[in-house]
Amino acid sequence: MDTHSGKISVLDTRIGSIELDMGLPATDEDVRHLLDASDFQRACQAYLWSLPLVSMAQWQHAARTVLGMRDHDMVVYESLADQLGILSAEGTRPYVIGLPELSRTGVLIIDYPAGSSAGVILDFWQRRVQQMGDGGPDGGAGGTYLLVGPGQKPLANVSNYVVRSPTNNVLVGFRPLDRDPARANALIDHFRMYSYGAPDSAEPTTILRPHGRAWSQVQPRGLAYWERLSEIIQRERPLERDRMMMAMLQPLGIERGRDFAPSARQRRLLEDGAVVGELMARAVAFKGPERELRFRPDTRWREVQPYDSDSEQRQPNIIDARAEYFYQAVAASDGLGGARAGTTDVCYVTHCDAADHALDGARSYRLRLPVRTFPTNTWSLTVYETDQRVLMNNGVGIAARSSRDPLRFNTDGTLDLYVGPTVPNGWERNAIISTPGLSWFAIMRLSELPENGNGSSRPPRLPDFEMVYG
């Protein structure tokens, strides 16, 4: 509404009433209010934009400071305790991850071992640069990869495959797929990564393990989020696509070549922006448009839409698509997902039971799978606590059940899986213990789905969780 009184008018807006003098803000207070609103909105959108970058930077920071990882080292995250710091880890196979900084190492040589594995190189925006292993050009036979960073020159005749990264920092990771533990461990032990030209004098690749040390790759909250963003911005070259967003960060005290020392005003806006930005990300990731995301109208399960960096510029909204995926997951890649070349894999997620209520760690639920008509023999169900989006830390070391487990079936061939704080007598092998006081969500990963005949997979009739008691 515009109420005139001579030259003065009042405009009612979403951020309150603004007094205007011939169309201009009439008071210094209104000017400050408008500029604060502008910078707050910038902080919220910068939070959504930077989620994949801060996720990688936090992983690298934690691996260096908590686990002692150097640029040439790899960390094996195998047990539930090891994987507790990873956003939506799959929980049934180990992750082997390195996070080198190419501006420090120079060109890297990766001697990738032979054997069944799913490997990948990601830039720090979590875009796939190269697959390795079964799904890569070596096809599981192993090979030498030359990893070249921005401004670095590749060298001829020193490797099978040349890989160029647009960022100085990268993730190098793989998952051994062989079910034989001896062969899987041998593959890990034979991995080597070193600077070009000095394989003997360079720091040798050391295989590290968390050994019970608490660490987290999850994006931090509050001012710590922006500290991590500012720190990685100093060590990365801005991509051309991100220059406008970088300009929006400048009034908030975040820019290349500048120490992060926000004023009291900037601190308040950044802290508020982190809170609301995360709520926006949570709404997009967990409560997105149901009609678009449910893969069947008769289910609460939704298909997890993997972030496809190869078609990034063709997506209708890059920021929302990235926020939806990277708020609740990390390392979007067929490589770290453990997919085998030539198979059809899909993930489904649910946050609600059959009555459309949030899944509660204090209550017990049953998921009855119609195994005789289930379209795959290879599946896993993993449970995560909602707040941190990490594996359910239930004290027993098991947050997933899969087709590889010795499960108990019903006499009619169906399979009951239980999630709750207590286990029905005799069904311990089929249960995942939940933690009272925490809400949770579940991801069902299905592999080797049959096709419809047109190249697409046939979606299963996946039932909802039913509350059985609690």
- CB distance 447 to 118 below 8 Å: no
Give me the CATH number covering residue 101. Answer: 2.60.40.1610
pLDDT reading at 455 higher than 60: no
- Report the predicted TM-score, pTM, of the whole model to 2 decimal places: 0.90
> Could you give the CA distance from residue 118 to residue 130 in angstroms, rounded to a whole number?
11
Verify that 198 and 252 share a domain, yes or no.
no
> Could you give the CA distance from residue 46 to residue 307 in angstroms, rounded to a whole number?
19
Structure tokens at 232: 């990685």
- Other CB atoms within a 10 A radius of the CB of residue 437 amount to 10
Domain extent for 262: 39-60+219-284
Count: domains in the chain:
3
Verify that 142 and 277 share a domain, yes or no.
no
Domain's final residue, options 155, 180, 208: 208
pLDDT reading at 342 higher than 50: no
Helical (H) or strand (E) element with 393: none
SS3 assignment, position 343: coil
Verify that 240 and 128 share a domain, yes or no.
no
Residue 253 lies in a domain: yes
* pLDDT average, residue stretch 235-247: 91
The closest alpha carbon to 309, from 49, 122, 128, 124, belongs to 128
Residue 45 lies in a domain: yes
SS3 assignment, position 285: helix
Q: How would DSSP label each residue in 193-226?
A: EEETT-TTTSPPP-EE--TT-----SPP-THHHH
State the pLDDT confidence band at 462, using cuts at 50, 70 and 90. confident
Verify that 55 and 157 share a domain, yes or no.
no
* pLDDT average, residue stretch 15-32: 92
Beta bridge partners of residue 14, listed in sequence order: none
Residue 2 lies in a domain: no
Verify that 387 and 404 share a domain, yes or no.
yes
pLDDT in tens, 265-284: 999 999 999 999 999 999 98
> Could you give the CA distance from residue 470 to residue 460 in angstroms, rounded to a whole number?
29
Residue 122 lies in a domain: yes
pLDDT reading at 264 higher than 50: yes
Give me the CATH number covering residue 402. Answer: 2.60.120.600
State the pLDDT confidence band at 316, using cuts at 50, 70 and 90. low
Verify that 51 and 76 share a domain, yes or no.
no
pLDDT in tens, 172-201: 999 999 989 999 999 999 999 999 876 555
Residue 141 lies in a domain: yes
Amino acid 5: pLDDT = 53
Verify that 165 and 127 share a domain, yes or no.
yes
* pLDDT average, residue stretch 222-228: 98
pLDDT in tens, 415-444: 999 999 999 999 999 999 999 999 999 999
HSE, CB side, 13 Å, CA atoms: give it for residue 28: 0
- CB distance 351 to 464 below 8 Å: no
Domain's final residue, options 284, 305, 330: 284
The mean predicted confidence, pLDDT, of the chain is 88
Give me the CATH number covering residue 237. Answer: 1.10.3360.10
Residue 32 lies in a domain: no
Contacts of 83 (CB under 8 A, 6+ apart): 77, 89, 91, 95, 390, 391
> Could you give the CA distance from residue 332 to residue 355 in angstroms, rounded to a whole number?
31
* pLDDT average, residue stretch 284-302: 73
Structure tokens at 235: 């060590």
Question: What's 257's DSSP letter?
Answer: T
Verify that 294 and 236 share a domain, yes or no.
no
Cα-based distances in Å from 129 to 86, 133, 261, 334, 335: 21, 14, 34, 12, 11
Residue 31 lies in a domain: no
Beta bridge partners of residue 402, listed in sequence order: 380
Residue 396 lies in a domain: yes
Cα-based distances in Å from 211 to 70, 137, 218: 17, 34, 19
pLDDT reading at 90 higher than 50: yes
Amino acid 370: pLDDT = 86
Verify that 271 and 307 share a domain, yes or no.
no
pLDDT reading at 93 higher than 50: yes
- CB distance 309 to 123 below 8 Å: no
Domain's final residue, options 186, 208, 230: 208
Verify that 188 and 121 share a domain, yes or no.
yes
Verify that 388 and 400 share a domain, yes or no.
yes
Verify that 305 and 443 share a domain, yes or no.
yes
